[in-house]
Structure 1
């Protein structure tokens, strides 16, 4: 089975459409959505509805992210000003069913040897970031899953923890499969589909071949100028549109 992994979609319709089309062209049979469907972008209702459609069809699983939780509960003073503005704007554009869908999403999903979570495995609802190898090891040591898939950091990366205690990480190259050795635990961060932050504006996602035990990361160009124009037209913080152009 080929499983497409999408994280941090952030209401970016253009990016999500491009990624789903690319995943289909690569033979994706199922989808795992790793949270943050809303926030920053101008198409929250479309993105939430697309994810909900695939989940209800039985071809996808989805977990909740911190931005999704914030939309359900309402923005909080400690949030970054731009995020708070977009959360408040987003709440007015989702209907009751869409909000209920987000509210009903689990914080994590276990599927045999695989764990799906937005932020980390050690305290999923505290939304702590995995930004270094030590964070990845902490997450891997908190679960028995052989492969953990998570988002939240927006940058694509791959970490491992061997049975000997050896640790390591990879900076994946788009389109190049990496075999996930059975002698190691792995933590897969596919990067952000809707708001990459590694200096490359192309959307990120990964494809996991469960039969081969291999993960392939992809970068998918999309019309980020159109997505940014929608942000500007909605009079959301202009910096959010520039970030799509810069990949930052």
Structure 2
């Protein structure tokens, strides 16, 4: 099965459309959405409806911290901009869309893989895997050979050898990486809707579950249109700038 893995969509219709079209063109068999469908962007209802439609076709989807945030009034753990957008987003969603979000799981397993939004050691606490130490902690918290996670808006690939040593591999777009069965792996596809590595192109990955081959992609999209929507919605201008500059 060729699985498209998308995370941190962040209500960015233009980026989501571009990545879904890109994956469909490459004959993706199935889709996994690793949370944060909403937050930061101006099209939360469209993104949630789109993911719901993919779920009806068998896609997998997880809860992210921004998704959870829209269900609760008090989210002091979020930064002011994120909290402001969550409050705005709450008014944009229907009861049906909120019910869909409320029922999302924190993790799921597929064959030899674990899928979480933030990390494997405590998915509900939203702690970041932002270095080799945290990657090792996450990999040691599960028996899965391969862990896929989002939350960090930069694409990364970590591997652990049989001696427990962890190293990071910097992924290159469109370059297939064989995931050896002799290692453990942690995959961060990067953010579809709000990349933060200085490259505004959307991120996602394709994973061949039979061949154990992983390919990262950067997909250009109409960042200006997405940014203008953020401004037109009255959301913070810094979020529009972040889309334009990838950080």
TM value normalised by structure 2: 0.98
In 1: Cα distance, 2:197 partner to 2:239 partner: 15
In 1: Cα distance, 2:11 partner to 2:153 partner: 14
SS state of the match for residue 92, structure 1? helix
Aligned match of 1:247:
246
Runs of 4+ deviating beyond 4 Å: none
Aligned match of 2:7:
7
8 Å CA contact retained: 1:75, 1:88: no
RMSD value, Cα: 0.8
In 2: Cα distance, 1:152 partner to 1:78 partner: 15
Aligned match of 1:79:
78
Aligned match of 1:39:
39
- Quickly say closer, same or farther: Cα 1:128–1:145, change in 2 above 3 A: same
In 2: Cα distance, 1:51 partner to 1:158 partner: 25
Aligned match of 2:28:
28
Total equivalences in the alignment: 247
Aligned match of 2:127:
128
Q: Which runs of 5+ in 1 are unaligned?
A: none
Shift in Å at residue 77 of structure 1? 2.8
In 1: Cα distance, 2:34 partner to 2:5 partner: 7
In 1: Cα distance, 2:66 partner to 2:77 partner: 13
Q: Which runs of 5+ in 2 are unaligned?
A: none
Aligned match of 1:55:
55
SS state of the match for residue 73, structure 1? coil
In 1: Cα distance, 2:153 partner to 2:37 partner: 13
- How do 1:93-242 and structure 2 match up within 5 A? 93-242=92-241
8 Å CA contact retained: 1:117, 1:149: yes
Shift in Å at residue 56 of structure 1? 1.9
Shift in Å at residue 185 of structure 1? 0.8
